[in-house]
Structure 1
Amino acid sequence: MLRKAGHRLYGRPSAYELVQRLPFGLYLKYLGDPDGFCNEFNALQMVRQYTSVPVPQPLDLVIMPTESDDPFYSHDAYLLTSRVPGIPLSRCHDLLSDKDGAEFVAQMQDYLTQVRAIPKTVSPEYAICDTLGGACRDPRIHEANPVGPFVDEAAFSQVLRNPDEPSRRGHKVVFTHADLNSRNILVDRVIRPDGSRGWTVTGIVDWENSGYYPEYWDYTKALFEGFRYTQRWRDFMHDIFKPFGDLSKEFEIEKRSWEEGDYV
């Protein structure tokens, strides 16, 4: 019923989005990968528990036998969350002044510092895994088919291109969003204390791929196939990740990997 009401009130999403706005400040993600939705539900709970990062509240998760004839799908999943305000940064980043941009960078640095400090309390035998301790799923690895979990970074790197490069070793493993692009960061206009207008981050969404990854993963993923993004977005990401160390070698090996194929 709510989904039909959402169609009438807000229109249908595109065939590729599979996210429907609903009445009463709700959103429904549907027909997704059940394991991915379970991971996102758990990730949202963890981010809300351990940080002040604005994310949707996970409200319900339903998994049921599929009605599809596709032999690769046995169950459908539906994830119900609250709505966070704002619009995707991808639609407005050119409107941000230099001052707005500097404030955006500082805010994202604070939020990512909090996210990276979320403790790992699952699957101590594995270093790299999703938030539930299971397999990783990422569109840039094996077309998002599950891989792992992995006992260490060296094992994880074996599913990537150029696995034996020195820059594929020796990193801390941290909680990672794993799909940090300008569509998944929401911003909105605010009035500053001095009365001037500015912008603020109001939400970070789409945590389906999140998990525990090497510390460079969010940085290089945010710049994945950089030709798709504006120079300003790339500059934002370079500035946001500066406090987390020099990741230039990791970025260079990732760029080489992208040039060698569609997926890392």
Structure 2
Amino acid sequence: MDTDITKFRVPNELWRDVPPLARLWLAVPTRIRLAVYRLIWWLADTMYPRGYAVRVHRILPGIYLKYGLIKSSEPHAMLLLRRHTNLHSSVALDYVTSTQAMIGGSQGINSYTTAFLLMTAARGQSLMAVEDKLTPGQITSLGLELRDYLAEMHKIPNPYKYGLCSSAGGGVDAPRITADNFDLPPCENIRAFHGWLTRRMGMDWPLMEPKVQPLFDKYDEQPTIFSHGDLSSDNIMVHNGRLSGLIDWETSGWMPPYWDYLCTRWENSEVCKTVVRLAIPEHSDREKYEMSAAAAVGRGHSPTTIPSFEEANIL
């Protein structure tokens, strides 16, 4: 397996938004930085073995190195937050991609792209790690603090030609819609996205239309807002019972107003469910359910096998 292309993709002039020492590091040629990251990763993996997929190692106090199939939307989102808001999150210090060739038998030579993301640590611990220690009052405060966080985040301006796109301006990592099979294509606006989803449902659209067309009509003409796209108990950070930020921004982008509620993963955390419902009270579980059902039909599931919202009893 050989590296045939290495590059540093600057997310909107990253160097302008990092501390001075990081600027000096960015001045080092990309191939040297990549070689250093590979050496650090090998040493860290030798001393502290981790799982296969995307992994993170602390390499210095307050500094982490992440490696894997990391989408460029993650450093872009970190930069956008730092440039346009006062919100707390990790700070992207470097992002280096490497396209590697792999001999694939009868398939010939295939390639795939991995990346190293150098970033600061987010303050606190995940909600998952501390939820059993939180008081009811702290849980309520977390929900209200997250509401303020999202309200400021939603105002981040979109510099790209597509109204609905990732924080890097391209396709959106949207597991709730695509089940991780592909990225959601960028769209001109919310109406165009709803049209794309309608076409995905094909011949099943007449059965789904009464359930989702009212939602489409409600949001078709509304502007997109900057969204995280994966609120969950492992991405919400807490310090001393207070919200300290959000992490993992690969799914971020400018999406419909209902997006963060739709894409929340709270199935294994009643605390997360309470926090998100307090943070986003303007959206409903019915919206979340009907849009999730439409996405499932768009992936080939029969609408006759999906129970109604009332039958599902998800409350």
The TM-score range, normalised by the shorter chain, is 0.7 to 0.9
The Cα of 1:214 is off from its aligned counterpart by 0.2
Provide the rounded CA distance (Å) in 2 between the counterparts of 1:73 and 1:181. 32
Alignment CA distance shift 1:69-1:116 (3 Å): farther
Quote how far apart the aligned CAs of 1:22 are: 1.8
Deviation, structure 1 residue 148: 1.7
Distance in 2 between residues matched to 1:238 and 1:96, nearest whole Å: 17
Note the alpha carbon deviations across 1:150-178, whole angstroms, 9 max, x for none.
11213212237657522134243100011
Q: Percent identity?
A: 24
Q: Which has the higher helix share?
A: 2
**C-alpha displacement at 1:68, in angstroms?**
4.5
Find the counterpart in structure 1 of residue 275 from structure 2: 236
Structure exhibiting the larger radius of gyration computed from Cα positions? 2
The match for 1:178 is 229
Aligned residues: 244
Per-residue CA shift, 1:91-120, capped at 9, x if unaligned?
221211011112111211111011011111
More displaced stretch, 254-263 vs 203-212: 254-263
Q: 1:194 aligns to what?
A: none
Mean CA deviation greater in 110-119 or 155-164: 155-164
Shift of 1:14: 2.0
Whole-angstrom CA distance in 2 between matches of 1:23 and 1:94:
29
| Structure 1 residues 138-157: aligned runs within 5 Å | 138-142=174-178, 143-157=180-194
RMSD over aligned Cα atoms = 2.7
Q: 2:56 is matched with which residue?
A: 19
**Alpha-carbon spacing, 1:165–1:23, altered in 2? closer, same or farther (3 Å):** same
Q: Which residue of 1 aligns with 2:81?
A: 47
Runs ≥4 residues deviating over 4 A: 67-72, 160-164, 257-264
Deviations 1:170-189 (A, max 9, x none): 24310001111110112122
Out of 85, 89, 114, which is 2:127 matched to? Answer: 89
Give distance in 1, aligned partners of 2:234 and 2:113: 27
Could you tell me which residue of structure 2 aligns to residue 196 of structure 1?
none
- Output the CA distance in 2 between the equivalents of 1:263 and 1:24: 47
Q: Could you tell me which residue of structure 2 aligns to residue 112 of structure 1?
A: 150
TM-score by length of 2: 0.69
Residue 263 to residue 118, structure 1, CA distance change in 2 (3 Å): farther
| Correspondent of 2:288 among 245, 251, 261 | 251
User: Which structure 1 segments of 5+ residues have no match?
Assistant: 190-198
The reply on whether 1:213 has 2:213 as its aligned counterpart is no
- Equivalent positions of 1:26-41 (< 5 A) are 26-33=63-70, 36=71, 38-41=72-75
Q: After superposition, where does 1:69-80 map in structure 2 within 5 Å?
A: 69=103, 73-80=111-118
